[in-house]
């Protein structure tokens, strides 16, 4: 079963372990998260119950606080060196289990112990990549932890999300040689319903290519007002993790659409993780991160098909009636599923935008309040 075992030392990290447990219960369900304090029945044999629980788990979190390594018994002996130390038994048992992922979680400023500081049965723990979980950034760090757990749970990491680009890194705008990227990606989140791959030709008169040309013709005066980028460059290797940001110099409704190398079209933003279309507003000179706080996952993973794709980004003024983007709202509720009829979908969006721009022209308004960008990327093996 895809269960999660939380191993921690009560005197070292009970408070933070409790917060982690509550977060994982919310994400995965009460029956899939085991914490010994709450879940060992009265009169139960600790060692047997723990071994049974670990056998039923796919992931073990080794919660390591600042005093985890130095903890001593009443007699003054290091607990990890004792034969009957439940934390040592839990982690040592998990490290020997094939197919069980052990993730060290460093809390409250703790550092990863070296192999030399660990008993023989736990030395392999020092080779496991650890996650820092800071109380000052618990929300975002917990999202990274959830994403790592999902990546280790069979059947929960391969839902298909189409494409993304990363604009502003946390430390500032990340320039990528003049070409910015929006790769196709797979999100570490629950798998959506299967969708038949699109067969429409991007070269047909009413297809995707024609619609993109129409968008560029209609909105070309608004280009240059949206900044997109991706960590690592515009050639993205399969399997790479991706987080992206978007920055606009004009405020309004942000819409991001991916066209991958196979001609599949996916609405990336807004999506069902936002409360409504109205929640997808971006301020002038503001940055939106996808995934951002509250998504429940912290990154995407580049997946096939290999080849070049395009990202379409636009910001529409808040004065544009929401009914104009009814098809965007309808697709938003489907999450990250590819559009079933990509050519007509984009063609309809072009006509809606042209209609709004025609009304604006009659009223003396211009494209000054719009933002538009098309960037290319390439997924490589």
> Model confidence over 73-106: pLDDT tens digits?
777 777 777 777 788 888 988 998 888 999 999 9
Q: Are 229 and 166 in contact (CB under 8 A)?
A: yes
> Confidence class of residue 60 from pLDDT cuts 50, 70 and 90?
very high
Vertex 357 angle, CA 355 and 362, to 5°:
100
Rounded to the nearest 10°, the torsion over CA 195, 201, 205, 209 is 80
Average pLDDT over residues 283-304: 72
What percentage of the chain carries pLDDT values higher than 70?
A: 76
CA distance 336 to 294: 16
DSSP state of 264: -
pLDDT at 293: 63
| pLDDT digits 0-9 by tens, 14-36 | 888 888 998 898 888 888 898 86
The structure tokens listed for 164 are 């993304």
Q: Which of 110-119, 188-197, 360-369 has the highest mean pLDDT?
A: 110-119
Give the pLDDT score at 36: 60
Under 8 Å between Cβ of 329 and 277: yes
- Section 180-200 average pLDDT: 35
What average pLDDT score do residues 113-126 get? 89
Calculate what percentage of the chain has a pLDDT beyond 90: 7
Is the pLDDT score of 183 beyond 90?
A: no
Q: How confident is the model over 173-185, as a mean pLDDT?
A: 31
Instruction: Give the CA distances from residue 359 to residues 203, 251, 353, in Å, rounded to whole numbers and listed in that order.
Output: 30, 20, 10
> How long, in residues, is the chain?
381
Domains of the chain as residue ranges with CATH = 3-152 (3.40.50.10140), 159-380 (no CATH)
Check residue 72 and give its pLDDT: 80
* Mean pLDDT value of segment 186-197: 33
Helices 342-362 and 208-219 meet at what angle, rounded to 10? 20
Q: Concatenated DSSP letters for 100-160?
A: -EEEEEEETT--PPPGGGS-GGGGGGGGSPPEEE-GGGHHHHHHHHHHHHHHHSTTSS-EE
pTM over 0.75: no
pLDDT averaged over every residue in the chain: 75
pLDDT value at 176 more than 50: no
CA 289 to chain centroid, in Å, comes to: 10
Is 173's pLDDT higher than 90? no
Q: Which of 162-171, 277-286, 291-300, 327-336 has the lowest mean pLDDT?
A: 162-171
Q: Average pLDDT for residues 177-196, to the nearest whole number?
A: 34
pLDDT at 311 over 90: no
What tokens appear for 291 in the block? 């995934």
SS3 assignment, position 299 = coil
What DSSP string runs through 160-209?
EE------EETTEE---TT------EEESS------PPP---TTSTTSHH
Mean pLDDT of 320-344: 82
More confident residue, 233 or 254: 254
Q: Any idea which of 17-21, 116-120, 149-153, 248-252 has the lowest mean pLDDT?
A: 149-153
Q: Name the pLDDT band for 266 (thresholds 50, 70, 90).
A: confident
As a whole number, mean pLDDT of residues 109-138 equals 87
Q: How confident is the model at residue 59 (pLDDT cuts 50, 70, 90)?
A: very high
Q: For the ranges 23-27, 203-207, 228-232, 350-354, which has the lowest average pLDDT?
A: 203-207
């Amino acid at each position: 079963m895809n269960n999660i075992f939380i191993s921690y030392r009560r005197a070292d990290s009970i408070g933070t372990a409790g917060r982690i447990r509550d977060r994982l219960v919310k994400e995965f369900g009460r029956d899939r998260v085991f914490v010994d304090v709450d879940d060992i029945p009265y009169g139960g044999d600790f060692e047997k119950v723990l071994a049974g629980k670990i056998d039923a788990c796919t992931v073990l979190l080794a919660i390591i606080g600042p005093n985890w390594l130095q903890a001593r018994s009443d007699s003054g002996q290091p607990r990890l060196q004792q034969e009957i130390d439940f934390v040592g038994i839990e982690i040592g048992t998990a490290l020997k289990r094939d197919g069980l992922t052990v993730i060290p979680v460093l809390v409250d400023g703790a550092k990863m112990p070296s192999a030399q500081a660990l008993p023989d049965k736990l030395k392999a723990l020092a080779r496991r990549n650890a996650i820092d979980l800071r109380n000052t950034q618990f929300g975002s760090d917990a999202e990274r932890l959830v994403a790592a757990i999902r990546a280790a749970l069979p059947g929960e990491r391969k839902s298909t999300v189409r494409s993304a680009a990363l604009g502003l890194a946390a430390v500032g705008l990340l320039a990528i040689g003049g070409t910015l990227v929006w790769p196709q990606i797979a999100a570490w989140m629950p798998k959506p319903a299967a969708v038949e791959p699109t067969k429409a030709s991007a070269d047909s008169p009413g297809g995707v290519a024609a619609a993109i040309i129409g968008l560029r013709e209609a909105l070309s005066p608004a280009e240059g007002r949206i900044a997109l980028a991706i960590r690592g460059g515009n050639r993205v290797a399969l399997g790479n993790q991706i987080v992206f940001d978007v920055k606009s110099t004009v405020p309004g409704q942000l819409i991001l659409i991916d066209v991958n190398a196979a001609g599949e079209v996916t609405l990336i933003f807004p999506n069902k993780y936002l409360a409504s279309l109205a929640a997808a507003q971006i301020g002038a000179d503001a940055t939106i991160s996808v995934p951002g706080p509250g998504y429940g996952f912290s990154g995407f993973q580049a997946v096939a098909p290999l080849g070049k794709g395009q990202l379409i980004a636009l910001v529409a003024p808040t004065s544009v009636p929401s009914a104009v983007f009814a098809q965007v709202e309808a697709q938003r509720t489907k999450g990250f599923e590819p559009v079933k009829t990509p050519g007509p979908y984009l063609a309809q969006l072009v006509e809606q935008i042209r209609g709004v721009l025609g009304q604006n022209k009659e009223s003396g308004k211009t494209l000054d309040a719009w933002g538009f960008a098309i960037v290319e990327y390439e997924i490589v093996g």
